[in-house]
Amino acid sequence: MRLNLTLSRKAIILVSVPLIIELALVGFLMVLLQQAEQERESEAHSLEISNEINGAMRLLISAGTNTVIYHVSGSRDSLSHYRRSIREFPQVVKRLSELVKGRLNEEDDLLHMVSLYNKANHNLVQGHRKLEEGDRIGSMKPYAELNKSMAELYVIADRIQARQSVIQEQGKAAQIATRERIKWLVVAGALLNVFAAVALVLYFNRGTSHRFNILLDNTMRLASGEPLNAPLSGGDEIARLDKVFRKMANSLAAATQKERAVLQNAADVICSIDVDGKFSAINPAVEKMLGYEPSELVGARLVQFVHPDDVEKTLETLKQNIAEKGELTLENRMVRKDGNFADVLWSLHWTEAEKSTICVLHDITYRKELERLKRDFVAMVSHDLRTPLTSISGFLTLLKSGKYNQLSDHGLETLKSAESSTNRLMNMVNDLLDIERVESGRLDLNLGPVTMEGLVESVFSILEPIAREKEIDLVAVHNDDLEFVGDADRLNQVLVNFVSNAIKFSEKNSKVVVNAYETDESIRIEVKDTGRGVPDELKQAVFERFKQVDPSDSAKRKGTGLGLAISKALIERHGGKVGVIDNRTEDGKVEGSIFWFSLPKAADT
């Protein structure tokens, strides 16, 4: 039967069982040691009794002998020894009396012996006094009694000594037996402790290690994609870990399945390239892009499928990506299976764990074709459309000057409309050319010193007639000493666009204010108006191509929707920024907009 125990409880059992055995062993050892101590004390007590009895006998014999010698020879040393024995004798008797207390088996004999000691001592003293008095015959009776008491004392002393010898021998034997029991108890306890510990370890380890091996095998199975073992039973930590592992495995399987589905159905080619420049994996989208089956590319070198002119650039980018361990992009031409070429945009990402480059290939052949068509269109506009418009504009100018006779008032009105339409079309063509040149990077800037005073005067001289027609005042904040670096013509174009838009969307009898000031990092130029403003959701969108606040502005105010986009591109080409914010009064009310652009300071430029 397997106990359903947690690992913590198993650990408690593994520790507590040997501990209980050790505590029991210590208890038994304490009992045996106490027993041995009692036996040692009994032996010591018996030995002390024997010593005291022998001492009392020696004192009596010494006192009797020395008193006889004294009376025979008159020796003062013998008298001194006698007196010392007589003084010490009561102390010995007192100690012996204390030793016999509580000794039931010996108390009667010892008490009798003590009384005999006292009687013998009394007879000895009486005999000595008689001899001192010169009554030798009178001393015979006490000495006779003394001999009788001594004889009886010898009998009792021998009996007690024999009993004490037996007690001492029994105590020694008991102590030897106790030491043997302690020795065997220690050995038996240690063996029992080791056996219990080993048995518990084997019992718990058999199930625990087996279950851990199943978990380890599951990790190997998960890594190799094989089915997992049956779930582990029980409610301990291992069983819970197995449940968590299975949930993780199911989540990984679902994620892997989704990832595989994404890879299999992705429109872009997704592949990995090892450090040797070989394809190690690739999704089926390559068949649509290049015409190859994935199996035809796996293991093959990348350079085999790159246009010869782009091989060196491709390998250098791959090496740079590996060295920097980051993300890079690359455009090159790939060779299709039919021999044609495809323009491809690469996104490269190096993975240190797999030591390979993960690549996403996007087919930009169509985009490249559109760019070619765009360039052709711009060339066509530049040559085939701009030239006729210039001729038409020149002819209309001749008509207006009366070169071909004077026109009637209706004819002049019609000529004015035609001239306006031609100028609008010419501006649109110029805007298209400008934005194409800026975005393609083919617009060069003629940088030089620019003063704010000269820039504002140039712009105001162009737009003053339009502003006067709408009864709008153009105001410039005093900033004559402000100077910066830029392309004067292009900055003039940007400021004209900002101010003309402000005039276009402002009401009559209002003001358009141009202000410029220097910050810690840049020169900032602002154009304030009191028009309808720009909603928050369109503050970024108005700088996109063909984007206007009101779609009807193109027809009402004859705008192309390219002016702000061109302005943004020109300012960014200078390394600056553009934006629009609300023009607020002191009480926080919104009255129009503030279009601004900033330029780096001369040192930064």
Q: What is the DSSP string of 414-465?
A: HHHHHHHHHHHHHHHHHHHHHHHHHHTT------EEEEHHHHHHHHHHHHHH
Percent of the chain topping pLDDT 70: 77
Taking the C-alpha atoms of residue 467 and residue 598, their distance in angstroms, rounded to an integer, is 25
Taking the C-alpha atoms of residue 177 and residue 583, their distance in angstroms, rounded to an integer, is 111
Write out pLDDT tens, residues 154-177. Answer: 776 777 667 767 766 776 777 777
- Residue 340 or 112, more confident: 340
- Residue 10 or 580, more confident: 580
At 1, is the pLDDT very low, low, confident or very high (cuts 50, 70, 90)? very low
Taking each helix axis as running N to C, give the angle between helix 409-439 and helix 563-573, from 0 to 180 degrees, rounded to the nearest 10: 40
Residue type at 565? A
By three-state DSSP, how is residue 597 classified?
strand
Task: Give the per-residue pLDDT at 306.
Answer: 92
Mean pLDDT of 392-402: 75
Is 60 exceeded by the pLDDT of residue 527?
Answer: yes
Task: Give the per-residue pLDDT at 597.
Answer: 92
Task: Give the per-residue pLDDT at 54.
Answer: 76
| Residue appearing with tokens 């061109």 | 566
Task: Give the per-residue pLDDT at 530.
Answer: 86
Mean pLDDT of 411-439: 72
Mean pLDDT of 383-399: 73
- Report angle CA 452, 456, 457 to the nearest 5 degrees: 115
Task: Give the per-residue pLDDT at 196.
Answer: 74
Write out pLDDT tens, residues 553-600. Answer: 544 445 566 788 888 888 888 889 999 988 887 777 878 889 999 998
Question: Rounded to 5, what percent of the chain is helix, strand, coil?
Answer: 65, 15, 20
Is 70 exceeded by the pLDDT of residue 2?
Answer: no
At 538, is the pLDDT very low, low, confident or very high (cuts 50, 70, 90)? confident
At 253, is the pLDDT very low, low, confident or very high (cuts 50, 70, 90)? confident
Is 80 exceeded by the pLDDT of residue 21?
Answer: no
Task: Give the per-residue pLDDT at 555.
Answer: 45
Looking at 366-370, 380-384, 500-504, which range is the least confident one? Answer: 380-384
Output the average pLDDT for the chain: 77
Is 70 exceeded by the pLDDT of residue 183?
Answer: yes
Is 70 exceeded by the pLDDT of residue 299?
Answer: yes
- Residue 441 or 291, more confident: 291
